[in-house]
Amino acid sequence: MSVKPIFFALDGKNLSEFSKELAILKGHIFGVKVGLEMFTSEGPSSVEKLKEEGWKVFLDLKLHDIPNTVKAATESAGNIGADFLTIHIASGNEALDAAQEVKSNSMKILGVSSALTSKAFTSTTSDEVLNDFLKAKESNIDGVICPPSEISRSKELFNLIVTPGIRLKNDTNDDQKNITTPEKAIESGADYLVMGRSIRNNIEYVVENLTL
């Protein structure tokens, strides 16, 4: 069975909301993403439960704080088993360096630019993302959360590219402005994709027919 390089975004308050989808997706996709809403609602147990079930867990907290706080939070994330953790690049290189120092051996640190996929992209925003990624590169973090339009250029800086804003051909855009299809993202150089509603609305297609 081919495992697709996809993180299923658990965008909700409780793991129980996704029990059906998780059962279907197990063995077909790489991992799941736990965001701030669920982590705030269920706490570390959300990650621990998913790890017990054998999932790779991407903890998307977008940490943005002083170096000591980012360092402590990174260490805590590793202790509960998170495999990937997001940190805002705007926290500064000292905070990114601190996270790198204490992360667990299996954890990957992903930098996040302030120019997220929910914003319309212009040449100015594109330059902002590049500048953020160049700063993050100085701290030798593992990779970045990369908007679809910036994948090719960012691949020259990082070996690990995780891309949100993924939509199947017939999907609506919803709140995302910077989007692409799974096939185009992988072709451009993305290593992993983040998909939420597109999977929930088309789960049989994703499991049985989507080829990446």
Catalytic residue numbers, as ranges: 62
- Are residues 109 and 139 in contact, defined by beta-carbon separation less than 8 angstroms? no
Please, which residues bridge with residue 162 across strands?
Answer: 145, 192
Rounded to whole angstroms, the Cα distance separating 55 from 208 reads 20
172: nearest Cα among 211, 134, 200, 146:
200
DSSP-derived pairing of the beta strands 29-35 and 84-88: unpaired
The first and second tokens of residue 92, run together, are: 């500064």
Helix intervals (H) in the chain: 19-25, 36-42, 45-52, 67-79, 93-102, 123-138, 151-154, 182-188, 197-201, 203-208
- Are residues 85 and 77 in contact, defined by beta-carbon separation less than 8 angstroms? yes
